[in-house]
Amino acid sequence: MNAETKIERKAKKLGLKERYGHLTRGLGWETTYQPMDKVFPFASYEGIKIHDWDAFEDPFRLTMDAYWKYQAEKERKLYAVIDSFAQNNGQMKITDARYVNALKIFLTGVSPLEYLAHRGYAHVGRHFVGAGPRVACQMQAIDELRHAQTQMHTISHYNKFFDGLQDPRHMFDRVWYLSVPKSFFEDAMTAGPFEFLTAISFSFEYVLTNLLFVPFMSGAAYNGDMATVTFGFSAQSDESRHMTLGLEIIKFMLEQDPENVPIVQRWIDKWFWRGYRLLSIVAMMMDYMLPKRVMSWAEAWGIYFEEAGGALFEDLARYGITTPKYADVASKEKDRLTHEVWSTFYNYTHAAAFHTWIPNDDELDWLSEKYPETFDQLYRPRFEHWRALQEKGERFYNNSLPQLCNVCQIPMVFTEPDDPTKLCLRNSEYEGDKYHFCSDGCKDIFDYEPKKYIQSWLPVHQIYQGNCGGSTMPEVLDWYGIKNGSDNLDYEGSPDQAVWNEWTKSAHKAVG
């Protein structure tokens, strides 16, 4: 090969933008043998008007070879850490076995959502006319599948030593409290493609995902779980890309036609509230389930929504978009949300696939410090009362079935926005039947689309209708896949605690 040929070949090497152009070329063709509206039937029925699909530009322009190279590097690091964690008995170096209960909720309530996101993005990617959003959705579908796999591979290590981790997918489909995340995603997946992107890419990924990943992964680091930290960091770099894409798709819709603005605003209002209600379980993990805590839920809400979200909606104001409806209610609830949710799980721990407990004195003091306006007055007396009952051998369980909100599917445990001593109850009538809600936010969602939400699969209703294995607690637990006496009930006296105490005792002996 002569020097001239070498120079010619070097000159033909394509840049990233050009390679991305070749990746997507021809995908935006006009069909001839069938009309476009038949090939892309979901592209217009939501009312979103797109005049120029080419105006959407993927800010990352990842090509497949760059994507695989980048992800492979992260995979090598992650699996090296997982192997090291397993070989060095990393499960014995966490702060306290109570921490594993947070992982149980994550594995059963969050990891299945990653898989549903994979399916959702693969589906909506097919239904966009433009090449840019279509490729971006397909890339994200691959990301989400990878997240589901790495999370399950990482946390599966704990399944060798602790209860409640044996069948997360089965539990996700059946256990009562897991219908909260499941119904959230099924609601989004049964919407149109633009609403799906507003729900997941923008409202959840851009506005709320930092409240899930950043404090929780920091909590994993504080509690000695380096394997979980690593999968969190591995996913977080993808999440940052997803967040940018979520904002881009919102701006794309808003810039295409002024008539899109009220539609997008309504979706933002709806999915902010649905996402906020979903995060109540994450909030509870932060305040009650991490033996070493990073920050309170109220602090995280202040940083990641009130400050960051405030700047975001100031930016979107130029398009006519306002802060989500009921964001002020979420801020009013930040000082009480976690106490109300943890109390509910303490009441129903016999029907949950993880353990609960009364916070010890140091933990109660931490909660008093973080929630000076509410905790000592409203919640500490309740926990001290339950502790006294437990010490007398009269541990309190709520043996009734709770009324569920018809939209978010959380038991009706939340209080009035301006009165934390009074339960918040709302209802609507539709075709002669009455439906119940935990908040004005959920009632609004139902009232706009009642035909969708009257079909909600409510776990308590299903038990009453005989669709959950039987009418007794053992029958329902067996149908859930929960092993009574090991997966559920208090941490105190559980097999998990016995294993942990034995490890701790052995470690002390070894030290001498």
Question: What digits encode the pLDDT tens for the residues 22-48?
Answer: 777 677 778 899 999 899 999 889 999
Task: Show Cβ contacts of residue 446 under 8 Å, excluding neighbours closer than 6 positions.
Answer: 406, 407, 428, 430, 435, 437, 453
Task: Show Cβ contacts of residue 301 under 8 Å, excluding neighbours closer than 6 positions.
Answer: 211, 283, 330, 331, 334
Kindly state the helix (H) or strand (E) to which residue 436 belongs, with its residue range: strand 433-437
CB 335 within 8 A of CB 281: no
Helix (H, G, I), strand (E, B) or coil at 268: helix
C-alpha distances in angstroms, 16 versus 28, 59, 65, 301, 468? 20, 12, 10, 38, 53
Distance CA 264, CA 331 (A): 23
Helix (H, G, I), strand (E, B) or coil at 339: helix
Distance CA 249, CA 247 (A): 6
Distance CA 251, CA 161 (A): 48
Quick count: other Cβ atoms within 10 Å of Cβ 445? Answer: 24
Per 3-state DSSP, the chain is made up of helix, strand and coil in percentages (nearest 5) of 65, 5, 30
CB 227 within 8 A of CB 84: no
pTM: 0.93
Helix (H, G, I), strand (E, B) or coil at 377: helix
Task: Show Cβ contacts of residue 169 under 8 Å, excluding neighbours closer than 6 positions.
Answer: 112
Q: What is the CA angle 363-336-187, rounded to 5?
A: 115
C-alpha distances in angstroms, 222 versus 148, 205, 295? 23, 24, 11
Residue 2's pLDDT is what? 59
Distance CA 108, CA 494 (A): 20
- Scanning the structure block, which residue is given the tokens 């208090």? 490
Residue 7's pLDDT is what? 55
Strand partners, 404: 411
Distance CA 440, CA 436 (A): 11
Residue 182's pLDDT is what? 97
* pLDDT by position in tens, the chain (length 512): 555 555 555 556 777 667 777 777 677 778 899 999 899 999 889 999 999 988 887 777 777 778 888 889 988 999 999 999 999 999 999 999 999 999 999 999 999 999 999 999 999 988 988 888 888 898 899 999 999 999 999 999 999 999 999 999 999 999 999 999 999 999 999 999 999 999 999 888 877 777 777 777 888 999 999 999 988 888 877 887 888 888 888 999 999 999 999 999 999 999 999 999 999 998 999 999 999 998 999 999 999 899 988 889 999 999 999 999 999 999 999 999 999 999 999 999 999 999 999 999 999 999 999 999 999 999 999 999 999 999 999 999 999 999 999 999 999 999 999 999 999 999 999 999 999 999 999 999 999 999 999 999 999 999 999 999 998 999 999 999 999 999 999 999 999 999 999 999 888 777 66
What does DSSP assign to residue 15? P
207, with CB counted inside 10 A (0-12, 13-18, 19+), is buried
- Scanning the structure block, which residue is given the tokens 């439906």? 435
What does DSSP assign to residue 421? E
- Cα Dmax for the chain: 92
CB 296 within 8 A of CB 211: no
CB 54 within 8 A of CB 130: yes
Helix (H, G, I), strand (E, B) or coil at 450: helix
CA-wise closest residue to 202 among 169, 247, 157, 172 = 247
C-alpha distances in angstroms, 432 versus 429, 435, 438? 6, 10, 20
Tell me the angle at which helices 64-87 and 131-155 cross, rounded to the nearest 10 degrees: 10
CB 265 within 8 A of CB 48: no
- Structure tokens, 125: 């990617």
- Scanning the structure block, which residue is given the tokens 């476009």? 36
Residue 10's pLDDT is what? 58
